[in-house]
């Protein structure tokens, strides 16, 4: 039931390339003094230029085209005219588009000017956790291996993993089954990955406590201790030998197609 048909994979692959392009092209606009609303506007225009639809706009009432989450905002930040970026800020831009009826979803961290060493390590470790997860994905593994790989990486740090949000199947719908947990859960052992599954992995890593709260706008999620949070997200296809990163960007530190099958010595 989670397996995508060939024609669907082709479409989601195209959507993924567009999402990657938006994330690559927005970088040059991120400077002290720009508002998150302006960044939203630029992303919106880039999405329209690609003849695709911003999936966040109007999704369950979300008012903007992308989510922008600055510093202690964990996710679902609403771009705002009065929110002006300043030197030292870290932010996540989360882009989801629909092209030809199919979604792709990815996000990454951006730095404003010079950021603190602490924030730099936080962002690096968030990306590394995502990569650790992608490096275990292959047909035949239990779904909870993904969260296990993330937890194994974060255990080595003083950071914490947000438990309230998870990755998700994606396709015709924005959020499909299965849920992808970003921490180890022994009981989450009912699904075995198969070739043709498409889902996101999107760990949110906090500098301090993993506790979060939703603000009165009913969207913005913040850390309760006001310490920063970082997130990286990709849309992934499970392939015969591992996985393909459908939202792979040119700045990536791992290849687009991962071979995760260890060749046995003969």
Judged by DSSP in three states, 180 sits in strand
Residue 62 lies near ligand MF3 (rule: CB under 6 A): yes
Stretch that binds ligand MF3, among 60-68, 133-141, 177-185, 236-244 (CB under 6 A): 60-68
How many Å apart are CA 133 and CA 205, to the nearest integer?
A: 14
Shortest Å distance, C-beta 25 to ligand MF3: 18
Which one of residues 6, 28, 51, 60 is an interface residue with ligand MF3 (CB under 6 A)? 60
Which one of residues 83, 94, 125, 210 is an interface residue with Co ion (CB under 5 A)? 94
Pair 139, 240: CB distance under 8 Å: yes
Which one of residues 96, 220, 223, 247 is an interface residue with ligand MF3 (CB under 6 A)? 96
257-259 and 167-169 strand pairing = unpaired
Residue whose CB is less far from ligand MF3, 214 or 261: 214
How many Å apart are CA 207 and CA 186, to the nearest integer?
A: 25
Which one of residues 76, 182, 222, 227 is an interface residue with ligand MF3 (CB under 6 A)? 76
Q: Which 226-265 residues touch ligand MF3, going by CB under 6 A?
A: 233
Which one of residues 72, 94, 188, 210 is an interface residue with ligand MF3 (CB under 6 A)? 94
> And the tokens for 18?
């567009």
Stretch that binds Co ion, among 10-18, 54-62, 87-95, 128-136 (CB under 5 A): 87-95
Look-up of token digits 């705002």: 80
Residue 51 lies near ligand MF3 (rule: CB under 6 A): no
Instruction: Give the length of the chain.
Output: 266
Shortest Å distance, C-beta 201 to ligand MF3: 10
**In the chain, which ranges are E strands?**
53-54, 67-70, 73-75, 90-99, 102-111, 160-161, 167-169, 176-180, 198-201, 204-206, 212-214, 221-223, 229-231, 234-238, 242-245, 257-259
Which one of residues 42, 43, 67, 126 is an interface residue with ligand MF3 (CB under 6 A)? 67
**How far, rounded to the nearest angstrom, does the alpha carbon of residue 62 sit from its chain's CA centroid?**
18
Closest CA to 4 of 154, 158, 151, 197: 197
Interface characters, 102-141, with ligand MF3 (x: CB under 6 A): ---x------------------------------------
Interface characters, 229-248, with Co ion (x: CB under 5 A): ----x---------------
Closest CA to 132 of 183, 179, 170, 93: 183
Q: Which residues bind Co ion (CB under 5 A)?
A: 94, 105, 107, 200, 233
Q: Which residues bind ligand MF3 (CB under 6 A)?
A: 56, 59-60, 62, 67, 76, 94, 96, 105, 202, 233
């Amino acid at each position: 039931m989670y397996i995508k048909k060939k024609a669907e994979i082709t479409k989601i692959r195209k959507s993924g390339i567009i999402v990657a392009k938006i994330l690559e092209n927005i970088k040059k606009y991120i400077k002290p003094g720009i508002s998150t609303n302006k960044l939203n506007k630029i992303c919106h225009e880039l999405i329209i230029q690609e003849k695709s639809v911003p999936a966040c706009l109007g999704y369950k009432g979300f008012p903007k085209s992308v989510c922008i989450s600055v510093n202690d905002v964990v996710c679902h930040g609403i771009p705002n005219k009065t929110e002006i970026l300043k030197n030292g800020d870290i932010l996540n831009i989360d882009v989801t588009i629909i092209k030809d009826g199919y979604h792709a979803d990815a996000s990454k961290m951006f730095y404003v000017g010079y950021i603190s060493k602490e924030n730099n390590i936080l962002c690096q470790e968030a990306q590394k956790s995502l990569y650790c997860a992608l490096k275990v994905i292959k047909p035949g593994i239990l779904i909870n291996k993904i969260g296990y790989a993330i937890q194994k990486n974060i255990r080595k740090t003083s950071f914490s993993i947000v438990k309230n949000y998870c990755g998700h199947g994606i396709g015709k719908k924005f959020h499909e089954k299965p849920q992808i947990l970003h921490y180890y859960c022994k009981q989450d052992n009912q699904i075995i990955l198969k070739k043709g599954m498409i889902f996101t992995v999107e760990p949110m890593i906090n500098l301090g406590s993993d506790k979060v709260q939703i603000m009165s706008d009913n969207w913005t999620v913040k850390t309760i201790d006001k310490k920063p949070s970082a997130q990286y997200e990709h849309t992934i296809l499970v392939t015969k030998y591992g996985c393909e990163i459908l939202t792979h960007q040119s700045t990536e530190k791992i290849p687009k197609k991962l071979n995760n099958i260890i060749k046995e010595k003969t």
